[in-house]
């Protein structure tokens, strides 16, 4: 049975906490089918994977593709804690996702309306709908806390990734 958007965004936030705990930018994503089943999960892994494409959205799509044995992810909805960038929007369109639901707006690289509106450009051969601002405060707060701690560590000469590992038990639980 399908649950509400807040439920799935909380699952995406759980993925984002995993990224935070390993010193990655805390972005998480889940892919949900029409029956409400989560078929893919992901969190940012760019540093740990040494892969600039390992954004939460792409990792979740890779996992869903493996689970479904198909690169076309038709009729899936993506819940992600941060507005997707241009790279992720391109992958979303190619995968044929149905809908993107995001929490926090990305005022620097957002491609779902904040900076660019790539996701809904009418020139694309596939139309993706977009819904924004779901649990926006929770998603934004996690990112703000992460970057505040990262700047503090940098200022004090502390390895911020190591500090994330030390302080992971103090992270709030959903």
Residue with tokens 């699952």: 11
Which whole-number Å values give the CA distances from 94 to 14, 28, 72, 128, 155, in the listed order? 26, 20, 8, 10, 41
Residue with tokens 């959205």: 57
Active site residue 15: no
Length of the chain: 174
Q: 67: buried, middle or exposed (CB in 10 Å: 19+, 13-18, 0-12)?
A: middle
Cβ–Cβ < 8 Å for 160, 21 = no
Cβ neighbours around 59 below 10 Å, total: 25
Selecting among 57, 145, 162, 163, the annotated active-site residue is 57
Q: 22: buried, middle or exposed (CB in 10 Å: 19+, 13-18, 0-12)?
A: middle
Report which of 84, 107, 116 is spatially closest to residue 97, judged by C-alpha positions. 84
Residues labelled as active-site residues? 57
């Amino acid at each position: 049975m399908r649950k509400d958007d807040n439920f799935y965004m909380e699952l995406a936030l759980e993925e984002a906490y995993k990224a935070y705990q390993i010193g990655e930018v805390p972005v998480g994503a889940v892919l949900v089918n029409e029956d409400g089943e989560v078929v893919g999960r992901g969190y940012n892994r760019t540093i740990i994977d040494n892969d600039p494409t390992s954004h939460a959205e792409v990792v979740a799509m890779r996992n869903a593709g493996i689970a479904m044995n198909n690169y076309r992810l038709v009729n899936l909805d993506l819940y992600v804690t941060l507005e997707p960038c241009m790279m992720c929007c391109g992958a979303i369109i190619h995968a044929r996702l149905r809908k993107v639901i995001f929490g926090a707006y990305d005022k620097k690289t957002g491609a779902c309306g904040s900076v660019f509106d790539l996701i809904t450009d009418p020139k694309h051969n596939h139309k993706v709908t977009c819904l924004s601002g779901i649990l926006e405060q929770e998603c934004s707060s996690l990112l703000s806390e992460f970057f505040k701690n990262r700047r503090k560590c940098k200022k004090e000469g502390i390895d911020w990734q190591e500090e994330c590992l030390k302080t992971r038990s103090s992270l709030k639980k959903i």
